[in-house]
């Protein structure tokens, strides 16, 4: 790990990182978020196969998350536009009241796709909230993190960790 911030120049001003000297490799990152529901809401969603009055909760979340991941460079000032080749979402119930979402993004590029995975999973989680808020406003989004990355420096995979 380096002590220098890559998005700050020698005078302390913000800058976009110059990736011109980096090698092109396949980069992949996975980010996750948990959507925590009140027990009664989780029971209702399970019974309705993750459909709400607004429609198919997960299908809508996947579309929203995909659109967001593709536009990350428009949202985060120093992100490079990337030739994204893959955006995939997974979900599963991680306990009675917690829905775990994961977004995996891949590109063949000179820089990683962690931000795209993070933006994708956060917008997907916010969309789940939006699709379900008529049932409760006590829904929480928690535990947003990059859980795996490969293809660059400092690769890791914490998807099996608790």
**Can you give the residue ranges of every domain in the chain?**
26-151
Place of tokens 């979900």: 91
Q: Which CATH architecture group holds 26-151?
A: 2-Layer Sandwich (3.30)
* Strand ranges inside the chain, DSSP E: 25-36, 51-52, 55-56, 84-93, 98-109, 140-150, 156-157
For 37-47, write each residue's pLDDT tens digit: 999 999 999 99
- What's the pLDDT at 161? 67
Distance CA 105, CA 16 (A): 21
pLDDT band at 160 (very low <50, low <70, confident <90, very high): confident
- What's the pLDDT at 5? 61
Q: Are 40 and 122 in contact (CB under 8 A)?
A: no
The catalytic residue positions are 130
- What's the pLDDT at 1? 44
């Amino acid at each position: 790990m380096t002590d220098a911030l890559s998005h700050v120049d020698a005078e302390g001003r913000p800058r976009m990182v110059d990736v011109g000297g980096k090698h092109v490799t396949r980069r992949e990152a996975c980010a996750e978020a948990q959507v925590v529901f009140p027990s009664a809401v989780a029971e209702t969603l399970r019974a309705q196969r993750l459909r709400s009055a607004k429609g198919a909760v997960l299908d809508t979340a996947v579309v929203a998350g995909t659109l967001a991941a593709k536009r990350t460079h428009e949202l985060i000032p120093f992100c490079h536009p990337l030739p994204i080749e893959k955006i995939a979402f997974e979900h599963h119930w991680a306990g009675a009241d917690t829905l775990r979402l994961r977004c995996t993004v891949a590109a063949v590029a000179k820089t990683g796709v962690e931000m795209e995975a993070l933006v994708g999973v956060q917008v997907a989680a916010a969309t789940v909230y939006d699709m379900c808020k008529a049932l409760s406003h006590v829904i929480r989004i928690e535990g947003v993190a990059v859980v795996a990355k490969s293809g660059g420096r400092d690769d890791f995979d914490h998807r099996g960790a608790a």
